[in-house]
Every structure is written in structure tokens, then in C-alpha cells.
């Protein structure tokens, strides 16, 4: 009895004869050897079928299936390959991409190590039609992590909410190894009808079934070229309705994230409204469809833009409120307040105000320098320094009394100096935290 392979590699192809040799070579050169290779063609007209048949005697090739008519969508090919697969894990290796020789060895190790994970995805390098690197064009769009070759596990709920609503974080099928068992269960019929976003819907359903492992290592080579189905759908706007359909499904699952959803609706409306190279009549048609079919309206667009504007300026707004509050403290005497407890009458509120005046400046400076720093760490440091500052303020008052100085101006100066020193200490701590990240 023939032993079943651990991994089934599926190559669905349509008119990618130019890239097939490089694609298949990158599979056959994998350091991991326990796999079968399933080659599929969707009625290509560029000589792809004849080229695929040249691999019929390769020991890894278990099936070569050549369609006589084109299905019009890549996703029925996915289903066909999955049903033919015998392996525990599946890799859908898109016919125009390539991979590092370590792809299978590293991703299978992660799924073996995490049996509750449904899929493992890696990062990608980006290449053009001629296999030249174009990483510089996409460095700010994908894989926003440090490449350390480690696996990070996310639970299903977190990944769907934070990484699949705004867009498809599993942006290329070739970067994923997933479990076959139950992978076609609960897949909506829309999957087989979609031309552009069926992969997004497929990965959502896989993530619903279990955890996700992100392997922070770029083992996939994602080819970006104008002839790809995804590129065409993005440029002509035809993918917009499929995107809206998937987003509506996710919105319903996370109603508590209403603010994030509102901003996301605004972004989609904005993207549709500003599609480059698309006639205004087509844009109007798409916007009307978003309104009537998916509940994404002009109201969401304007409200989201206002929220985004406020969010970008939130530090200045908070800073202004803080300064107003501290300014009041600086000129306040407890005795001037009605109904003030007598025990509070001697509190040096004005001096505390002078001290606190200096605290926001290093925080804002560090925030501008490294905006994605840890908010919890900043707040913790701020609380500690504020507490130290109050001690300094009281200490200066005590020293003034011991030395016989009663001048408010001198005490205010000491409080100011205390604030400056505390701010400097906080800045130094923030810099140390930045270096440790």
C-alpha cells in the first residue's frame, strides 16, 4: 500500500506558461521531500498544457488535469485540487509565483508544532514579470514586522477582527500552508462565483476554524504584474462589490467594533470615489451599489473622514486641554476655592501646576519620533514621574521653609526645575525603551 504524502502541492494555472518552469522548479527543489504535486490547467492557450505534460513522469506528480473549457474563475480549480489531494497539509502554489527552498520544511514544522492552528503563513518578497526584486515598492504595504524566522500564534477571533476586516492579510495563496481536514466545510457558494476576492473569503473560513501561525520569514516570492486577475480587478473597480460583500459579512460578526467599522466603510467609499482611470459614470454606479446593496453610504464617508482628522491630531488636542488645566492650577490658591476642606488650604497647588507644565513635552517628542511605541509603558512612566514630581514640589517647599525662604517666586522656580529634571529623566527612559524594542 502506497504511503500518503504529508503535503499536497497544488499548482492551478491559466496562461502562465512564461512562469511555469520557474514555479515548478522552486517546488521540486524544496528541502522537504514528503509531498505530491498536482498540476491543473484551466484551458490555457499559450502552450501551458503541453509544458505541464512534460512532468507526467516526475515521481512527485500525482495528477495532471487539463480543462477543455475555461471556468472563468481560479477558485473552482482550488476546489478540484483540494478534492484530489491526499496530504494532511495543502499548499496552493500559484503558477506565477516562486518560493524559497525552505518553504515547506519551515511551514510544516510550525503546523506540526501547533496542532490547533489551521494555517501557517509566511512573508513575501516581491518580483516583477522578469523576476527582478521590487520589494522597495511594497515595503510599507505588507509584512509590517521584523524578520526573525520565528512563528507567532494568533487566536481566530483576534486575527479576523484586527487583520482581516480592513483587508486580506493573507494576501497571496502561495505564502500559506493549511490543513486539508474540513477546509471545504462551510465555504459559502459565493466562493466559487467570485473572480477577484474568493481567496479572501476562503481564508476567512479557514481562520474561523482555528488559530493562525505567522512565520516572520520571507519564504514566498509574490509576482506583481498587470496581467494578474487581482491587479485587473483593483484597477477597473470590478473587485469593489466583492470586497464590500466580504466586509459586510465581517461587520456583522464584530458589531462591537463600530468605530473601526465606520472608519473602514469611510475608507472603502473613499477608495471607490477616487479610483484612478475609471470613468465617473462607473464610479457613480459603484457608489450607488455600495449604498443600496451593502449599506456603505456618503454619511459613513464624511463621518469617517472627520474621525480620522481628529485622530491624527489627537495629541495636539489632548495637549491643549492639558495646558489649559495646568494653567489654571498655576494661578490657583486653595483658599480661593469655595467649600475647600481646611486640611487642603496649605497645598502648593500652584507649584504642582508649575511642575506638571513641563511633563508633556518629552512625551510629545518621543511620540513624534516613534509613534508606534507602547502606550502602557508611556502611561506607567508618566505616572511614576508625576508622583516623583509631586514629591519634588513638596520637597522644595519644605526646604524653603527650613531655610527660611518664603518667596513664592523661588518656590515656583524650584518647582519648574523639578519639572524639567523629571521631564529629562522621562525622556531618557523613553529612549532606553525605544532601544530595547
Read off the pLDDT of residues 139-165 as tens digits, 9 standing for 90 and up.
888 998 989 999 999 999 999 999 999
User: Helices 375-403 and 408-436, interaxial angle, to 10°?
Assistant: 150
Q: 125: part of which helix (H) or strand (E)?
A: strand 117-127
Which cell numbers hold the place of 169? 492579510
Which residues, in sequence order, are bridge partners of residue 89?
7, 179
Residue 205: pLDDT over 90:
yes
| pLDDT for residue 436 | 44
Mean of pLDDT over the chain = 81
Residue 216 DSSP one-character state: E
For residue 200, give the nearest of 224, 167, 249 by alpha carbon: 167
Q: Which residues contact 375 (CB under 8 A, 6 or more apart)?
A: none
Helix locations, 120-238, DSSP H: 135-138, 156-163, 190-193, 198-208, 229-236
User: Which residue shows C-alpha cell 499548499?
Assistant: 91
Q: Residue 170: pLDDT band by 50, 70, 90 thresholds?
A: very high
User: Which residue shows C-alpha cell 500500500?
Assistant: 1
Residue 77: pLDDT over 90:
yes
Q: How far is CA 278 from the centre of its chain?
A: 28
Read off the pLDDT of residues 310-355 as tens digits, 9 standing for 90 and up.
777 666 666 566 556 655 555 555 444 454 445 444 555 555 555 5
Report the C-alpha gap between 88 and 6 in whole angstroms. Answer: 5
Read off the pLDDT of residues 210-242 as tens digits, 9 standing for 90 and up.
999 999 999 999 999 765 555 444 556 788 989
User: What share of the chain in percent tops pLDDT 70?
Assistant: 68
Report the C-alpha gap between 182 and 206 in whole angstroms. Answer: 9
What is the DSSP code string of 46-110?
Answer: SSHHHHHHTTTT-TTEEEEEE-SS--SSSHHHHHHHHHH--SSEEEE--TT-EE-TTHHHHHHHH
Q: What are all long-range contacts of 325-328, with beta carbons under 8 Å and residues at least 24 apart?
A: 326/353, 326/356, 326/357, 327/353, 328/353
Amino acid at each position: 500500500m502506497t504511503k500518503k504524502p504529508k503535503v499536497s502541492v497544488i499548482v492551478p494555472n491559466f496562461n502562465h506558461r512564461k512562469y511555469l518552469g520557474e514555479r515548478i522548479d522552486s517546488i521540486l527543489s524544496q528541502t522537504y521531500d514528503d509531498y505530491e504535486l498536482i498540476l491543473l490547467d484551466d484551458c490555457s492557450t499559450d502552450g501551458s498544457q503541453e509544458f505541464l505534460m512534460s512532468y507526467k513522469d516526475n515521481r512527485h506528480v500525482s495528477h495532471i488535469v487539463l480543462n477543455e473549457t475555461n471556468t472563468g474563475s481560479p477558485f473552482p480549480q482550488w476546489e478540484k485540487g483540494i478534492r484530489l489531494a491526499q496530504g494532511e497539509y495543502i499548499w496552493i502554489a500559484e503558477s506565477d509565483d516562486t518560493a524559497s527552498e525552505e518553504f515547506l520544511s519551515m511551514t510544516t514544522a510550525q503546523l506540526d508544532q501547533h496542532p490547533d492552528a489551521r494555517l501557517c503563513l509566511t512573508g513575501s518578497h516581491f518580483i516583477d514579470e522578469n523576476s527582478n526584486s521590487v520589494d522597495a515598492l511594497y515595503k510599507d504595504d505588507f509584512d509590517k514586522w521584523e524578520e526573525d524566522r520565528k512563528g507567532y500564534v494568533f487566536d481566530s477571533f483576534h486575527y479576523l477582527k484586527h487583520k482581516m476586516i480592513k483587508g486580506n492579510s493573507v494576501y497571496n495563496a502561495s505564502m500559506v500552508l493549511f490543513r486539508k481536514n474540513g477546509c471545504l466545510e462551510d465555504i459559502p457558494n459565493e466562493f466559487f462565483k467570485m473572480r477577484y476576492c474568493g481567496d479572501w473569503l476562503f481564508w476567512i473560513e479557514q481562520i474561523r476554524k482555528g488559530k493562525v501561525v505567522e512565520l516572520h520569514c520571507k519564504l514566498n516570492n509574490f509576482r506583481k504584474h498587470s496581467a494578474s486577475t487581482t491587479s485587473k480587478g483593483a484597477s477597473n473597480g470590478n473587485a469593489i462589490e466583492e470586497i464590500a460583500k466580504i466586509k459586510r459579512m465581517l461587520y456583522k460578526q464584530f458589531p462591537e467594533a463600530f468605530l473601526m467599522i465606520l472608519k473602514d466603510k469611510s475608507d472603502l467609499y473613499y477608495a471607490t470615489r477616487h479610483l484612478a482611470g475609471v470613468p465617473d459614470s462607473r464610479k457613480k454606479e459603484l457608489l450607488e451599489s455600495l449604498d443600496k446593496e451593502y449599506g456603505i453610504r456618503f454619511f459613513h464617508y464624511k463621518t469617517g473622514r472627520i474621525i480620522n482628522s481628529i485622530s491624527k491630531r489627537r495629541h495636539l488636542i489632548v495637549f491643549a486641554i492639558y495646558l489649559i488645566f495646568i494653567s489654571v492650577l498655576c494661578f490657583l490658591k486653595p483658599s480661593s476655592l469655595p467649600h475647600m476642606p481646611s486640611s487642603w488650604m496649605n497645598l502648593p497647588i500652584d507649584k504642582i501646576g508649575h511642575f506638571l507644565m513641563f511633563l508633556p513635552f518629552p512625551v510629545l517628542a518621543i511620540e513624534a519620533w516613534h509613534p508606534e511605541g507602547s502606550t502602557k509603558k508611556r502611561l506607567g512612566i508618566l505616572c511614576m514621574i508625576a508622583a516623583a514630581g509631586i514629591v519634588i514640589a513638596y520637597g522644595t517647599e519644605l526646604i524653603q521653609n527650613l531655610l527660611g525662604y518664603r518667596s513664592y517666586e523661588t518656590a515656583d522656580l524650584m518647582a519648574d526645575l523639578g519639572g524639567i529634571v523629571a521631564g529629562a529623566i522621562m525622556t531618557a527612559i523613553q529612549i532606553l525603551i525605544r532601544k530595547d524594542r
